[in-house]
Structure 1
């Protein structure tokens, strides 16, 4: 199989093949795979459909306790939407910044310019977005170990629900941003991306020092993980967000969109960054946290 062109996050070109990018400039940042770019609609992050836990049929587990009564529709508690039916939480802003960073790596574009282009882009002819997708979206849906069920029927039911949830997530993540996020989230996401761009070169060198060797050996498989590190490091240094908040958010993003031990590695990398490059003891709360 012909090797794909890739410019690593660590500043070196690994291989070259101009035939993969006919008529287009080679990507400049992070790593690149030959993926088609379709207007403003970003391809869903790689683990949206694979972040669901495996389902294993075994002896019936003990029944879970009944959920507390609630008058809110299913999914509303997870979505954090405003009265217009759009996301309004900082977590949504970080997810949006991650999607734009990921897409910028695939396209070889500047993250801020790509964000602005997506915001200004018009919807495709005939595109209709169902806002109930936002209400059913769960920012806290993480992968995990296998789920045990008692019967094949229960397994089929859970698999069916997983497919619906994955399709819902893909619809939300690929929709035009103005339909999904309110102005607060759009502004916060852009601020994060401006911070990422301004601190990029400095953070590339730091990431090269704090990431494990196997990530450096296969950078093309670590686009999302590297983007999460850039976003977290930029938010801590440029925006002054308390380091524990940023690290927890970065680990949660890794749990949602990355594979294997990425959350643990990202946690370790960011704690090292806080200790060695920000001269802060990561075990101690930041001043802003102690007041809360």
Structure 2
């Protein structure tokens, strides 16, 4: 399979993407998303019983800090208790794009299907979990702790956060996101679908060869690139804002050097394919 052909397997309507794509979710933060969108993640475990112990988990909140209050910088909820920030819209768009690739479905149709899906009888969503959800919780390297007690505390906190995030990501969107977020997310997905083929050709030229060699393992990263490129070319959002948001999504849901690579790819995209007015150069040339 050539590089260009490999990248094209990420079409939202492609049926060639199987469940093995789930291995893209390998980091602490990304494994949380896999519980809502793919197979359940394996439990995290302490690597050794000898000091220092290593736990692959981000640090827990400071003691006594408690969950963020409504309207805080982390929660971003409105008076109805739903997420209301553009960050939430981009995250939702990413979740739908990733799920669409796994299912071989059209991104917009999948979004509409999830929005209109009926709740299961007896299902109750506890909105308090939204207050503990942190859009800025980034994964990181293993942490060293000195005792079994500290390791157990970190592991328990990580499992608690994972369960909370899985509850949020798998809940019916109308219970989690307000109308602004749902509208913006759908607009992004419409732009992703309409610009997919054009952006595939560009992505094929700017991503590392390693990503071309293992495309199925990079579905999440490529979805981030597609969403960012679609937003820059269709919404007119400032380039720096879009790039920063894409890098944050990569920090949250991807592993290794993905944030750095995505940052470089999008800067190249802006330099070579977007003019100073924020318009796609390809669109200008056609006009």
The two structures have a TM-score, normalised by structure 2, of 0.77
How many angstroms does 1:145 deviate by? 2.3
SS state of the match for residue 140, structure 1? coil
Q: Find the partner of 1:172 among 168, 173, 182.
A: 168
How many angstroms does 1:107 deviate by? 1.4
Residue 132 of structure 2 corresponds to 136
Structure 1 unaligned spans of 5+: 1-6, 14-25, 36-41, 60-65, 283-292
How many angstroms does 1:185 deviate by? 0.4
Residue 24 of structure 2 corresponds to none
Q: Distance in 2 between matches of 1:45 and 1:138?
A: 18
Q: Distance in 2 between matches of 1:256 and 1:96?
A: 13
How many angstroms does 1:126 deviate by? 2.5
How many angstroms does 1:232 deviate by? 0.2
Structure 2 unaligned spans of 5+: 21-33, 54-60, 279-287
How many angstroms does 1:44 deviate by? 2.5
CA RMSD of aligned residues (A): 3.3
1:201–1:29: structure 2 CA closer, same or farther, 3 Å change rule? same
The answer to whether structure 1 residue 29 and structure 2 residue 26 are counterparts is no
Contact 1:97 1:189 in 2 (8 A): yes
How many angstroms does 1:155 deviate by? 1.3
1:117–1:136: structure 2 CA closer, same or farther, 3 Å change rule? same
1:91-147 per-position Cα deviation (integer Å, ceiling 9, x unaligned): 000000001101111111111111111111101223221111111101011011222
The answer to whether structure 1 residue 97 and structure 2 residue 97 are counterparts is no
How many angstroms does 1:58 deviate by? 3.3
Number of matched residues?
250
Q: Which gives a bigger RCO, structure 1 or 2 (Cα 8 Å, sep 6+)?
A: 2
Residue 75 of structure 1 corresponds to 68
Residue 213 of structure 1 corresponds to 209
More helix per residue: 1 or 2? 2
Residue 222 of structure 2 corresponds to 226
